[in-house]
Structure 1
Amino acid sequence: MRNATIRQLQIFSVAASHLSFARAAEKLHLTHAAISLQIKQLEEVSGTLLFERIGKRVFLTEAGEILLGHTRQILQSLKEADEALLALKGLKGGRIAVAVASTAEYFAPGLLAEFRKTQADVRIRMLIDNRDTVNRLLAGNEVDLAIMGRPPAELDAVAVAFAPHPLVIIASTAHPLSRLPNVAVEDLADEMLIVRESGSGTRSAMEEFFLERSVKPRIGMEMGSNEAIKQAVVAGLGISFISQHTLGLELKAERLRILKVEGTPVMRRWHIVRHKSKHLTPALAAFWDFMVEVAPAQLRKLV
């Protein structure tokens, strides 16, 4: 492996993470042929196959699994060395990769903007996706930190709750339930619910809420974005269980209303999460402290 290049390891890491040469080409802005060539050369250097194709799917071989673990350690060590050298030179810069659960996309950019006011030289990469993908990015060391609801139980992680996260039930202002001073959970049993996809933290919280009250909700539509859900509720297609942090504009415009359902808002917590083995560079430590100390006040402005 002494003749392997850093570029080959970078390409291998991306291809192995996605189990797709096409996705790797897209992520790295290379051609499919270039990805295949680099992987082939790495296989020649290692003297073993790293991928195998079964039908239309690509899988890592046992050798590929072993090499992937070492590759991630190598790339992380290089990144940490870069950060340490910057700090040694007295530079304020650094790089941070943050995964954000999709519901947090309504406030995360604002928090990053506030952080950049005091750390203007830090470069930040933000990835937004659902809970399952954020968990995978953390586990694969593809990001440094994550902003999410419930931390992944299966990951050896450090998590700090930094702000309350209220979840509410909404309807259009024209919906009959929106005119009631109080709504019983049983009154929702016949309503059509528009919900997030399986794997979403909001979906899991909704299922727990109804299960605890022995009510079986009628799921009429499943959507992958909060924006689509809100527009569907405004159009009168149903009601929804959603984060209150996503509703600022629609509530001000009186297009949606939060129903006063017993047991709501369901209170969860927002967390900042990192892998337990993640080394905190100066830039990461500054961002971590910012999220714990400054972010709570920013989120209070949203509810």
Structure 2
Amino acid sequence: MIHATLHQLQVFETTARLGSFTKAAEELDITQPTVSSQVKQLTKTIGLPLFEQIGKQLYLTQAGRELLTTCQDVFSQLDNFEMKIADLKGTKEGKLSLSVITTATYFIPRILGSFCLLYPDIDISLQVTNHKQIQERMLNNQDDLYILSQPPCEIDLKSQPFIDNPLVVIARKDHPLVENQQIPLEMLEAYPFIMRELGSGTRKAVQNLFNEHNINVRVRLELGSNEAIKQAILGGLGISVLSKHTLTFASNEDLAILDVENFPIPRHWYISHLAGKQLSVIAQTFLDFLIDRTQLMEL
């Protein structure tokens, strides 16, 4: 490996990550023959094949998988080294990779805006996704930090709560239950219900509460978007349970929170990272900023 160059490792890592010589060439802005040549030289240096091609699909060999893990560690350490040097110079510059679930978009952009004003030389990659996909990103160690409402227990994470995330029952303002107080939970069975998709944290929390009290609501729709659910409510298709954070904008003035027993369901937002991951200077800076910022602001 002493004869392998950083450029060869970069070409290999990009090819392995994208699963394509052509896509790697496009991302690195070099020709496909150059990609093939660099991978071929690296393969010769290591003495074992790194890829095998079956049809048009490119697969990593065992040696390739081991090298990919090593490359990711090396590049991560180099990125962190650059950030530490910038920190020693009294500046904060580098990259932050952040993944959040969709509901977090109701408050995270404001926090990121303040963070970027304070640290203008930090580049941020923000991925907005669902719980299932964020778990896949965790397993592949694709990001520095993750913001979600329910950290998966099957992945070894370090998680820290930072703000409340209450779940409330939402209806259109002209719904017959709007003026009622302390609505019995079983009364929800009389009205059509709109649920989040299976696998969502909100869906699990609501279903656990309903199961605990033997409540069976009539599910008319299952939707994978908070905004789609709100539009369905406004269209008269039913009531639903969403995070209170989804009602933070003036455009939601035609929606109301129902006063239902056992609601709101208390939950929290968490910021997580892989337990064995050494956070970069930039990632630690953002984590500290997020905790400090959310202790002061009302979301």
2:230 corresponds to 1:230: yes
2:256 corresponds to 1:257: yes
Report the 3-state secondary structure (helix = DSSP H, G, I; strand = E; otherwise coil) of the residue aligned with 2:207. Answer: helix
CA separation of 1:42 and 1:69: change in aligned 2, threshold 3 A: farther
Greater alpha carbon shift after TM alignment, 221-230 vs 194-203: 194-203
2:141 corresponds to 1:141: yes
Seq. identity, %: 32
CA separation of 1:221 and 1:88: change in aligned 2, threshold 3 A: same
Inter-partner Cα distance in structure 2 for 1:111 and 1:240: 27
Give the deviation of 1:171 after TM superposition.
Answer: 1.1
Give the deviation of 1:233 after TM superposition.
Answer: 0.8
The superposition leaves residues 242-275 of structure 1 with CA deviations (integer Å, 9 ceiling, x where unpaired) of 110011226x753111111110000101111111
Report the 3-state secondary structure (helix = DSSP H, G, I; strand = E; otherwise coil) of the residue aligned with 1:267. Answer: coil
Contact kept, 8 Å, 1:25 with 1:35, in 2: the verdict is no
Q: 1:1-303 alignment to 2 at 5 Å?
A: 2-3=3-4, 5-15=8-18, 21=20, 28=27, 37=36, 41=40, 44-45=43-44, 47-48=48-49, 50=51, 53=54, 61-249=61-249, 253-298=252-297, 300=298, 302=299
The superposition leaves residues 146-195 of structure 1 with CA deviations (integer Å, 9 ceiling, x where unpaired) of 11112221222211111111111111112222232232221112432222
Q: Could you tell me which amino acid in structure 2 is paired with residue 263 of structure 1?
A: N
CA separation of 1:254 and 1:85: change in aligned 2, threshold 3 A: closer
Inter-partner Cα distance in structure 2 for 1:266 and 1:26: 50
Contact kept, 8 Å, 2:51 with 2:58, in 1: the verdict is no
Q: Could you tell me which amino acid in structure 1 is paired with residue 14 of structure 2?
A: I
The superposition leaves residues 267-303 of structure 1 with CA deviations (integer Å, 9 ceiling, x where unpaired) of 10111111122223332222111111222332x2x3x
Contact kept, 8 Å, 1:11 with 1:35, in 2: the verdict is no
Inter-partner Cα distance in structure 2 for 1:180 and 1:32: 68
Inter-partner Cα distance in structure 2 for 1:292 and 1:125: 20
Give the deviation of 1:131 after TM superposition.
Answer: 1.3
Inter-partner Cα distance in structure 2 for 1:163 and 1:274: 17
Contact kept, 8 Å, 1:52 with 1:61, in 2: the verdict is no
Greater alpha carbon shift after TM alignment, 26-35 vs 181-190: 26-35
Contact kept, 8 Å, 1:149 with 1:268, in 2: the verdict is yes
Q: Could you tell me which amino acid in structure 1 is paired with residue 17 of structure 2?
A: V
Q: Which structure 1 residue ranges, 5 or more long, are not aligned? A: none
Q: Which structure 2 residue ranges, 5 or more long, are not aligned? A: none
Q: Could you tell me which amino acid in structure 2 is paired with residue 204 of structure 1?
A: K
Inter-partner Cα distance in structure 2 for 1:266 and 1:38: 58
Q: Could you tell me which amino acid in structure 2 is paired with residue 48 of structure 1?
A: P
Greater alpha carbon shift after TM alignment, 259-268 vs 167-176: 167-176
Q: Could you tell me which amino acid in structure 2 is paired with residue 296 of structure 1?
A: Q
- RMSD over equivalenced CA pairs, Å: 3.2
Inter-partner Cα distance in structure 2 for 1:95 and 1:137: 17
Greater alpha carbon shift after TM alignment, 76-85 vs 64-73: 64-73
Contact kept, 8 Å, 2:162 with 2:269, in 1: the verdict is yes
Give the deviation of 1:232 after TM superposition.
Answer: 0.8
CA separation of 1:24 and 1:208: change in aligned 2, threshold 3 A: farther
The superposition leaves residues 179-228 of structure 1 with CA deviations (integer Å, 9 ceiling, x where unpaired) of 32232221112432222222322122122121221212332222221111
Inter-partner Cα distance in structure 2 for 1:202 and 1:35: 48
Name the larger-Rg structure.
2
The superposition leaves residues 113-132 of structure 1 with CA deviations (integer Å, 9 ceiling, x where unpaired) of 12223222222211111112
Inter-partner Cα distance in structure 2 for 1:23 and 1:186: 58
Greater alpha carbon shift after TM alignment, 206-215 vs 159-168: 206-215
Report the 3-state secondary structure (helix = DSSP H, G, I; strand = E; otherwise coil) of the residue aligned with 2:249. Answer: helix
Contact kept, 8 Å, 1:25 with 1:32, in 2: the verdict is no
> Normalization by structure 1: what TM-score?
0.83
Report the 3-state secondary structure (helix = DSSP H, G, I; strand = E; otherwise coil) of the residue aligned with 1:155. Answer: coil
Contact kept, 8 Å, 2:233 with 2:240, in 1: the verdict is yes
Inter-partner Cα distance in structure 1 for 2:79 and 2:273: 16
CA separation of 1:49 and 1:123: change in aligned 2, threshold 3 A: closer
Report the 3-state secondary structure (helix = DSSP H, G, I; strand = E; otherwise coil) of the residue aligned with 1:179. Answer: coil
